[in-house]
Amino acid sequence: MPGSEPVPQQETDDTMQIHLDAEKCQGHNRCYALAPELFDVDDYGQAVLMEEGDVPDGLKDKARLAAANCPEYAITLTGD
């Protein structure tokens, strides 16, 4: 692990899971624009979550941004 910061004591509280409900996605393309590290789009413009599950530490803000801008509420975060 880089750095010497102590491991957070309540690690489970610090994990964030991201989930995309493909049925709800209507291709507004907000997540891909705001968080391209987490989302891609397919040939039809529908969102694709690149990795289901845990969000890497450096991308949590982007995950929150993507979720907070989805007009269809298709993105959910848990453990945040």
Q: How far is the CB of 13 from other proteins (least distance, A)?
A: 23
Nearer of residues 15 and 72 to other proteins, judged by Cβ = 72
Q: How far is the CB of 43 from other proteins (least distance, A)?
A: 5
Q: Which residues contact 74 (CB under 8 A, 6 or more apart)?
A: 20, 21, 22, 24, 25, 26, 47
Q: How far is the CB of 54 from other proteins (least distance, A)?
A: 23
Nearer of residues 26 and 54 to other proteins, judged by Cβ = 26
CA-wise closest residue to 47 among 55, 60, 67, 56: 67
Nearer of residues 14 and 42 to other proteins, judged by Cβ = 42
State the residues that interact with other proteins by CB under 8 A. 26-30, 32-34, 41-45, 65, 68-73
Q: How far is CA 33 from CA 4, 11, 23, 46, in A?
A: 34, 30, 20, 12
